[in-house]
Amino acid sequence: MAALQRLQPVRRVAVSGGTHGNEMSGIYLVKHWLREPSALQRDSFSATPFLTNPLAIERCVRYVGRDLNRTFTKQFLNSKAARDEPYEVQRAREINHLYGPKGSAEAFDFLFELHNTTANVGACLIASAQDNLLPMHMCHFIQTHCTPGYYPILLYNLPDQETYSISSVAKHGLAFELGPQPQGVLRADLFTQMGALMACALDFIDLFNKGTTFPAFEMEAYRFIGSVDYPRHPDGELCAAVHSKLQDKDFLPLRPGDPIFQTFSGEEILYQGHTTIYPVFINEAAYYEKKIAFNKTEKCSLSIPALQRE
């Protein structure tokens, strides 16, 4: 097994809510923490809460000009201000200035992003890739220490793909994705659960800063491999809905021949792949325009080496 790995302590931590302005758990938690910051304070650091997309939050929409959480790439972060650019491009540069710059030594140590989905993913923990040890240990800590629940881990980055989400601005990051919750709705159960996740994650950072050794472990995770669009008419209109047997079955195995869609005329469409996959983000409201009915993932086992601060 790989030797103990060492990382710098984590001092500068930020928590972003409202990256999508209609995902309410994070918005209301951050607003609450802005009024009462004590919940984000630990012996070794204090996390800074901030609202990511104020204009979208005010209008209760996902975004105003373009999806902010696909805008933290070199192309946009290095762009010059232009009069007709989308609001989110300007906001991404601002956030990069405040909490980055992305990839630099001055960047924040850790950035959390808080999201909701209309899909039945439970309390999903999303990291870019397994090679960033700190978030992987944090996920494991949450799975073993947080209130009993289902905390599947999703690795979203394809090999060699540039990271694009807000947490990629900091040195380390993790997203909490809680669902199902409709856009524009705040449910008490998810609000409470997201608060508990955050508390647990901050406890982990505090223990890490204080020198705790986190032993090596094996874990299961789901790795993003692609997406499936809805069946459409030639004019682009949907001609089928997600099949009722697939609806709400996020992270459960989908085998070749299983039904995935049902057309409005009553026909079933079956999954044509050759291997078992694990669909996630099934029937997410925001993904209709992205032409995604669900994302495909594969289940993998990871060996994570032990970790301690430098």
Partner 1 sequence: MTSCSVVLEAPVRRVAIFGGTHGNELSGVFLVKHWQKNGAEIQRSGLQVTPFITNPRAVKKCTRYIDCDLNRVFDPDNLGRKVMEDIPYEVRKAQEINNLFGPKGSDVAYDLIFDLHNTTSNMGGTLILENSRNDFIIQMFHYIKVKLILNKLLHIYFYMLLKDCIPVQGLNYTDSWAKHPVGVEVGPQPQGVLRADILDKMRKIIKHGLDFIYLSFLGEEFPPCTIEVYRIIEKVDYPRNKNDEIIAIIHPCLQDQDWQPLNKGDPIFLTCDGETIAYEGDSTVYPTFVNEAAYYEKKQAFMKTVKLKLTHALSPAS
Strands, DSSP E only, in the chain?
5-7, 13-17, 41-42, 45-51, 110-116, 122-127, 153-155, 172-179, 217-228, 240-242, 259-263, 268-270, 278-280, 294-304, 307-309
Beta-carbon contacts of 282 under 8 Å, excluding residues fewer than 6 positions away, are 119, 120, 242, 246, 247, 248, 249, 250, 293, 294
CB of 65 to partner 1, least distance (A): 14
CB of 23 to partner 1, least distance (A): 11
> What is the number of other CB atoms lying within 10 angstroms of the CB of residue 28?
16
Please report which helix (H) or strand (E) contains residue 185, including its range. none
- Has 137 been labeled as part of a binding site? no
Nearer to partner 1, 1 or 60 (CB): 60
The CA–CA distances, whole Å, from 17 to 45, 199, 249 equal 19, 15, 27
For the chain, the farthest-separated pair of C-alpha atoms sits apart, in whole angstroms, at 62
Interacting residue ranges for partner 1, rule: CB under 8 A: 28, 31-32, 36, 60-61, 118, 180-189, 191-192, 237-238, 241-244, 247, 262, 264-265, 283-286, 288-289
Nearer to partner 1, 236 or 257 (CB): 236
Nearest to 66 by CA among 290, 302, 297, 298: 290
**Strand bridging mode 278-280 / 294-304:** antiparallel
CB of 6 to partner 1, least distance (A): 38
Identified catalytic residue from 94, 177, 237, 267: 177
CB of 192 to partner 1, least distance (A): 8
CB of 22 to partner 1, least distance (A): 8
Beta-carbon contacts of 285 under 8 Å, excluding residues fewer than 6 positions away, are 118, 182, 183
Please report which helix (H) or strand (E) contains residue 101, including its range. none
Q: Is 177 a catalytic residue?
A: yes
- Has 32 been labeled as part of a binding site? no
Cα–Cα distance, 288 to 70 (Å, whole number) = 16
Helix boundaries (H) for 36-164: 54-59, 74-77, 87-99, 133-145
> What is the number of other CB atoms lying within 10 angstroms of the CB of residue 261?
20
- Has 115 been labeled as part of a binding site? yes
Nearer to partner 1, 195 or 305 (CB): 195
CB of 32 to partner 1, least distance (A): 4
Nearer to partner 1, 159 or 266 (CB): 266
3-class state of residue 150 by DSSP:
coil
Nearer to partner 1, 55 or 238 (CB): 238
Q: Which residues are annotated as a binding site?
A: 20, 23, 115
Q: Which residues are annotated as a binding site for Zn(2+)?
A: 20, 23, 115
| Catalytic residue annotation | 177
